[in-house]
């Protein structure tokens, strides 16, 4: 099912991130005029494999691998200019020249944000979310304190100097209050380095809200690529074990200026099992040899950090929330091939919380820590062959189709996309 001309489609994570959003975005990007990131920063990591070549992206949307779409980084994204320049250079070495635009209103990660990130993680102790130490939370904090620096400021040296001076004083005082670390940054060096990076990035900096408004009115096809997943959303996720941005579909409005009412399709990407990077409760997590086998078979290591991911059985309580909060029109179910040749599959349908069955994720951290998975056992399937890919969904093993049907019935949302491998062509549309 290709994207219709002149429509807006959003791809979001329905779990803890790492669901395969990069692959699904890449799959649809060839039908798009624009591919847009709208939140998060280089704490996100998307891996796309095309013709055996692997691309690891952190800030630039996955659609960059096509020659036609314009890749957009919206104002809701926080940007490390050096990381972005490094990513542009990385793509050029692989023969890809990004067709890129960056919002002039996007906030910038500064060196002191990374220092504060480490200090805050140590301060939070057992309530720490498992930060990537890339300065994401502190820069979002500065944004809300109205203490931030935006991309447009790098193009105005006097304004940048004024804002940086204020931010330096604030960061110094904050760091001294929560950490014994020295604030050893040199103001002039930071100022000059960022002005240089701003000059290099200046051809890309633009009013993204206006660009997308005009594009939609001119019947252009727009694809939004979310980062992380529903359970990491700072409002709707398992707080405080979350990221620092809103990961849900509704945040495209604040993250780009595009109206939510103009969205036509919202695709929630769900891995056929579960994985996450970071701390916090994970009711359907598996351990020991079972976890090792699943992790190795699925290649479950963080794109951004390289950390081994925690793994477990599919949690439909989580997916149920993703359907409801995002307003999902459909689900893309990925990595079904990893479960091939598994004799029996467990699927979490509810939680047992202190003897009470719950079908929704509680806000209470105490309750969520106490949650025990209630499993439904389903039969596994054998190999998924190349001929099945050619012949389509009806040719897949009956046990796999029953697995898909069970998910649909439990969460009340159609599974329209089946992914059975990392390559672009290993995708089946129902």
pTM of the model: 0.93
Q: Would 3 be classed as within a structural domain?
A: no
Domain boundary among 248, 267, 286: 267
Q: Would 164 be classed as within a structural domain?
A: yes
Does residue 184 share a domain with residue 118?
yes
Does residue 253 share a domain with residue 289?
no
Domain boundary among 201, 224, 258: 201
**DSSP symbol at 423:** B
Distance spanning both ends of the chain, measured CA to CA: 8
Q: Would 413 be classed as within a structural domain?
A: yes
Does residue 359 share a domain with residue 397?
yes
Q: What is the pLDDT of residue 405?
A: 98
Does residue 159 share a domain with residue 23?
no
Q: Would 1 be classed as within a structural domain?
A: no
Of the residues 18, 26, 117, 337, which is catalytic?
Answer: 18
Beta-carbon contacts of residue 288 (< 8 Å; ≥ 6 apart): none
Tokens at 196, concatenated: 């240089």
Q: Catalytic annotation on 18? A: yes
Q: Would 378 be classed as within a structural domain?
A: yes
Q: Would 238 be classed as within a structural domain?
A: yes
Residue ranges making up the domain that contains 42: 8-103+207-267
pLDDT in tens, the chain (430 residues): 679 999 999 999 999 999 999 899 989 999 999 999 999 998 877 777 777 788 888 899 988 888 899 999 999 999 999 999 999 999 999 999 999 999 999 999 999 999 888 887 765 655 555 567 788 999 999 999 999 999 999 999 999 999 999 999 998 888 888 777 677 889 999 999 999 999 999 999 999 999 999 999 999 999 999 999 999 999 999 999 999 999 999 999 999 999 999 999 999 999 999 999 888 999 999 999 999 999 999 999 876 667 899 999 999 999 999 999 999 999 999 999 999 999 999 999 999 999 999 999 999 999 999 999 999 999 999 999 988 988 999 999 999 999 999 999 999 999 999 999 988 889 999 9
Beta-carbon contacts of residue 105 (< 8 Å; ≥ 6 apart): 75, 150, 151, 152, 208, 209
Q: What is the pLDDT of residue 232?
A: 96
Q: What angle do CA 250, 255, 259 make, to 5 degrees?
A: 55
For the domain that residue 297 is a member of, what is the CATH number? 3.90.170.10
For the domain that residue 126 is a member of, what is the CATH number? 1.10.300.10
Of the residues 39, 46, 113, 236, which is catalytic?
Answer: 46
């Amino acid at each position: 099912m290709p994207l219709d001309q002149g429509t807006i489609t959003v791809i979001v994570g329905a779990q803890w991130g790492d669901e395969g959003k990069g692959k699904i975005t890449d799959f649809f990007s060839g039908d798009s005029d624009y591919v847009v990131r709208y939140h998060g920063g280089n704490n996100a990591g998307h891996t796309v494999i095309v013709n055996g070549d692997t691309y690891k992206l952190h800030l630039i949307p996955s659609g960059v691998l096509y020659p036609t779409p314009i890749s957009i980084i919206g104002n809701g994204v926080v940007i490390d200019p050096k990381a972005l320049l490094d990513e542009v250079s990385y793509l050029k070495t692989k023969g890809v020249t990004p067709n890129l635009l960056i919002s002039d209103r996007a906030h910038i990660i500064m060196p002191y944000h990374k220092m504060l990130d480490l200090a805050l993680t140590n301060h939070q102790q057992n309530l720490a979310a498992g930060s990537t130490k890339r300065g994401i939370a502190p820069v979002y904090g500065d944004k809300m304190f109205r203490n931030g620096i935006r991309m447009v400021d790098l193009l105005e040296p006097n304004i940048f100097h004024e804002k940086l001076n204020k931010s330096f004083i604030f960061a110094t005082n904050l760091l001294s209050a929560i950490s014994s670390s020295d604030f050893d940054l040199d103001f002039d060096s930071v100022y000059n380095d960022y002005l240089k990076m701003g000059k290099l990035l200046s051809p890309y900096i633009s009013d993204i809200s206006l660009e997308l408004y005009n594009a939609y009115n001119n019947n252009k096809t727009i694809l939004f690529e979310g980062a992380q997943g529903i359970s990491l959303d700072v409002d709707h996720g398992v707080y405080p074990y979350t990221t620092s941005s809103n990961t849900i579909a509704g945040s495209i409005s604040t993250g780009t200026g595009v109206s939510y009412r103009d969205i036509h399709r919202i695709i929630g990407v769900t891995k056929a099992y579960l994985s996450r990077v970071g701390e916090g409760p994970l009711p359907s997590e598996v351990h020991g040899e079972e976890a090792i086998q699943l992790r190795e078979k699925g290649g479950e290591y963080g794109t951004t950090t390289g950390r081994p991911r925690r793994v477990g059985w599919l949690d439909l309580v989580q997916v149920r929330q993703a359907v409801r909060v995002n307003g999902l029109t459909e689900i893309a179910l990925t990595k079904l091939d990893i479960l091939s040749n598994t004799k029996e599959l467990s699927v979490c349908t509810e939680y047992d919380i202190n003897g009470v069955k719950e079908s929704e994720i509680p806000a209470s951290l105490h309750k969520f820590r106490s949650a025990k998975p209630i499993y439904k056992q389903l039969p596994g399937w054998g190999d998924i062959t190349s001929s099945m890919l050619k012949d389509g969904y009806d040719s897949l093993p009956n046990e796999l189709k029953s697995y898909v049907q069970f998910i649909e019935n439990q969460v009340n949302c159609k599974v329209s996309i089946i992914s059975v491998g990392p390559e672009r062509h290993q995708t089946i549309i129902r």
